[in-house]
Amino acid sequence: MAQEFADKEAERRTKTQDSLGIRILKPIKMEPSEDRTVPFVSDPTIRFEMSILGAVLNFAIKKRYVPASQRYDERPKLKTMRRDEFTLEE
């Protein structure tokens, strides 16, 4: 029974897509590339992404899409990058 329903639904969708002129494209295969895989995400990247998310949330709060309690203003503090000390030989 479930298979009959699925077949009818697929047939209905195909007919609708044909009548609207919608072309079905081949799905794009998403496989992670070993060349471009990043094993580590830096703290500045996370901080930058959080600032973008904060801006989107502030916009949504301003338009009243989400309640004001969803706002967050704190971003993670970045450690100052310090150079290693010189050794006696240097």
> What pLDDT score was predicted for residue 76?
64
pLDDT less than 50: residues of the chain: none
Residue pair 69/60 in contact by the 8 Å Cβ criterion:
no
Domain assignment of residue 46, yes or no: yes
Q: What is the DSSP letter of 32?
A: -
Q: Using a cut of 0.75, tell me whether the model's pTM lies above it.
A: no
Domain assignment of residue 72, yes or no: yes
pLDDT in tens, 70-81: 777 776 666 666
Which residues constitute the domain of residue 69?
Answer: 41-76
Report residue 64 as tokens: 């009243």
Q: Which residue has the tokens 């799905």?
A: 27
Domain assignment of residue 63, yes or no: yes
Report residue 33 as tokens: 């590339």
CA torsion angle for 36, 41, 47, 50 (degrees, to 10)? 70
Residue pair 61/68 in contact by the 8 Å Cβ criterion:
yes
Domain assignment of residue 58, yes or no: yes
Residue pair 66/60 in contact by the 8 Å Cβ criterion:
yes
> What pLDDT score was predicted for residue 60?
92
Number of structural domains (the chain) is 1
> What pLDDT score was predicted for residue 81?
61
> What pLDDT score was predicted for residue 75?
67
